[in-house]
Structure 1
Amino acid sequence: MKEYNIAVIAGDGIGTEVTAEGIKVLKIIEELDKDIQFSFTYFPWGCEYYKKTGKIMDDDGLEKLRNYDAVYLGAVGAPEVPDYISLRDLLIKIRQGFDQYVNLRPVKLLRGAPCPLIGKSQADIDMIVVRENSEGEYAGAGDWLYKDKPEEVVLQTSVFSRKGTERIIRYAYELARREHKSITSVSKGNALNYSMVFWDKIFAEVGKEYTDVKQYSYLVDAAAMFFVKDPARFEVVVTSNLFGDILTDLGAAIAGGMGLAAGANINPEKEYPSMFEPIHGSAPDIAGKSIANPMAAIWSAAQMMEFFGEKKWSNKMIMAIEKVLTDKKVLSIDFAGTATTKEVGEEIGKQLRKIYTI
């Protein structure tokens, strides 16, 4: 019996709605596979918690999460709480505190998913973005000088260490080699004459050990253009924290929208728990209306299963999502449907049961 202990931070807005459906799907797996057992522990952290306590999560939050196998996050954010507080005091705190230095975001056009690019198919949009997740532009280093005075100056310092840069690039190379895919580095070395020149240098250095992998480099502005014009040229993409954040939202747009945008924050060595989340945010404008699309949350749960070594179940979960997309009978409003969040989740669970019996 394989037991997986999962900490759930449903968070704010639609986070509570979509994680509920992801957990239902995991419970179906538990029912169908007698060798798998899940336990879920819920933590009430997020902006609502902040409004009550003045803290996004408890001071000893990392200690409380440390012994779980994974963290399943819904979304964090509310109009009344500045985004930098909710982001830095929970999401980034967990990512950095647990050294989740790999952020994996699939940009893959599933069967049946809508694509805004004319003439593009599944074969054209099938990449994985490996985003550095622990330092870079989100390191939190800097200063605010002479605040509220005419000579006010702010400094936001990007941090690129050799250790941090080399390990994310090596991770991406290993993934490309394992999957027999090409690798593309995205940087901005022509303008950022320290950080990105350094990034390019490390990418070339590590690449000498992976001569069997086709290697490409793009400036981030050119990469953004080709994500839209010619996404087929990208298979494994490795890039910095900020560029990865921006490019994967663009990637979500060309692969069906934010309702299909999943993400994994990985500590590959498993010294700490990894965290899995849809990347669409808390969407306060539709929270409580039961119209949010749970597919991204379920896809991120599939990433969790793959991380656990349950690749067959991860694949089946994606197949179930694709079946719902191709049937087009039970779809949420973002896909021109009328189904509720719960109805979409239940339909994915129903299709998963059918797939299991095939």
Structure 2
Amino acid sequence: MKLYSVGVIPGDGIGPEVMEEGLKALKALEKIHGGVSFDIHSYNWNCDYYKKNGRMMPENGLDILAEHDVILLGAIGAPGVPDHISVWELILPIRRRFQQYVNMRPAKLLRGMVSPLRYKEHADLDFVIVRENTEGEYSDMGGRLHRGTPYEIAVQNNVFTRFGTERIIRYAFSLAEESGKSRIIGATKSNGINHSMPFWDEIFKEIGQRYPHMETNLYHIDALAAYFISKPETFDVVVASNLFGDILTDLGAAIVGGLGLAPSGNINPEKEYPSMFEPIHGSAPDIAGKGIANPIAQIWSISMMMDHLGHRDLGHLLLETIEDVLEEGSVRTPDIGGRATTSQLGDAIINKMIGKA
């Protein structure tokens, strides 16, 4: 029996609602496989915790999380707590302390779904965005001077290291090779950002030379966003800096049905530290407590977690079952054209999966 310790942060808004369905799916996988077990440890570190304690997690929060094999996150953010506090005091410290330098987000049109790009088929929308996750434009360097005066100034420094840039681009190429893909696109803006982006481009080309059998291209971010709409079928793996990857992945989610269908993995490929898996839809406070949030992104993130842990059979089973339920079409939450509740869709996926197994 392989036992995995799982740190769970349900978070804010719809986070606890979708996490409940994700944990039900995890327990179902436990029953199906028989050789794996999950030891769940839940932490109520969220914006309510911040309002009570003046911080998003305990001082030793990262030390606590370090004891787990993987981390599951629901969603973070709530009215009354600025986003730069909730993100910079919880999510980003986790990503950086645990060297989760890969943010991987699939842009895949699931069976049973129709893309807003009505002229595109399922085979046209199936690629992966690899985002650098620990430095770049989201580096904590800069500051503000002369606040509240006519002379006020804000400076934000972008930090691109050769070490960090090489490792994310190498990961993208390795991922493509392992997946049998042949096209790698690098997102850039070297015609407007004249230091960091030419640096990024040079390293992309250096690493690309080691893969002469692959088709490589660098696209400016504005053109690349347009190509996501006009010719998504030309992409296999897209690698991008922190900010560009953040923007592109939301666009990728939009063209395959919405944020409720979008999972992500914050990955430490070397497995020296725990990786973290989460939906990208945010806490959605406008629908929190109504029981109508789509749990698919959270459940799909667990499929990605299974892949990371080496149980690709379970990851495949879970994703395939999600698609089966969507294709049947009778149980859907309002965001994807149905009237089902969060728990009804979660139960439909779990029951179908158990039946398949």
Identity of aligned residues (%): 51
**Pairs aligned (count):** 356
Indicate the residue corresponding to 1:13 in structure 2: 13
1:176 to partner: Cα distance: 1.1
Indicate the residue corresponding to 2:120 in structure 1: 120
Residues of 2 paired with 1:322 and 1:269: CA distance? 30
Indicate the residue corresponding to 2:282 in structure 1: 281
CA distances 1:70-104 after superposition (whole Å, capped 9, x unpaired):
00000000011000000100001100111100000
Residues of 1 paired with 2:177 and 2:343: CA distance? 39
1:331 to partner: Cα distance: 0.4
Indicate the residue corresponding to 2:186 in structure 1: 185
> What amino acid maps onto 1:144 in structure 2?
R
1:120 to partner: Cα distance: 0.6
> What amino acid maps onto 1:138 in structure 2?
Y
> What amino acid maps onto 1:264 in structure 2?
G
CA RMSD, 1 decimal: 0.7
Are residue 258 (structure 1) and residue 259 (structure 2) matched? Answer: yes
Q: Is the 8 A contact 1:77 1:282 kept in 2?
A: yes
Indicate the residue corresponding to 2:168 in structure 1: 168
- Aligned ranges 1:111-260 → 2 under 5 Å: 111-181=111-181, 182-260=183-261
Q: Is the 8 A contact 1:176 1:213 kept in 2?
A: no
1:114 to partner: Cα distance: 2.8
Q: Is the 8 A contact 1:302 1:318 kept in 2?
A: yes
Q: Secondary structure at the match of 1:137?
A: coil
Indicate the residue corresponding to 2:356 in structure 1: 355
Q: Secondary structure at the match of 2:44?
A: coil
CA distances 1:118-172 after superposition (whole Å, capped 9, x unpaired):
2211110000000000000111111111111111111111100000000000000
> What amino acid maps onto 1:66 in structure 2?
A
Are residue 292 (structure 1) and residue 327 (structure 2) matched? Answer: no
What's the TM-score, normalizing by structure 1?
Answer: 0.98
Indicate the residue corresponding to 1:40 in structure 2: 40
1:355 to partner: Cα distance: 2.1
Residues of 1 paired with 2:186 and 2:356: CA distance? 37
Residues of 2 paired with 1:355 and 1:252: CA distance? 28
Provide structure 1 residue ranges, at least 5 long, that are not aligned to the other structure: none
Residues of 1 paired with 2:335 and 2:83: CA distance? 24
1:213 to partner: Cα distance: 1.5
Residues of 1 paired with 2:285 and 2:34: CA distance? 38
Q: Is the 8 A contact 1:8 1:72 kept in 2?
A: yes
Indicate the residue corresponding to 1:57 in structure 2: 57
CA distances 1:55-81 after superposition (whole Å, capped 9, x unpaired):
111111110000101000000000110
Q: Is the 8 A contact 1:71 1:275 kept in 2?
A: yes
Residues of 1 paired with 2:164 and 2:17: CA distance? 35
Indicate the residue corresponding to 1:69 in structure 2: 69
Residues of 2 paired with 1:70 and 1:148: CA distance? 44
Q: Secondary structure at the match of 1:72?
A: strand
> What amino acid maps onto 2:79 in structure 1?
P
Residues of 2 paired with 1:208 and 1:318: CA distance? 34
Q: Secondary structure at the match of 1:138?
A: coil
4+ runs deviating over 6 angstroms: none
Q: Secondary structure at the match of 1:99?
A: coil
Q: Secondary structure at the match of 2:151?
A: coil
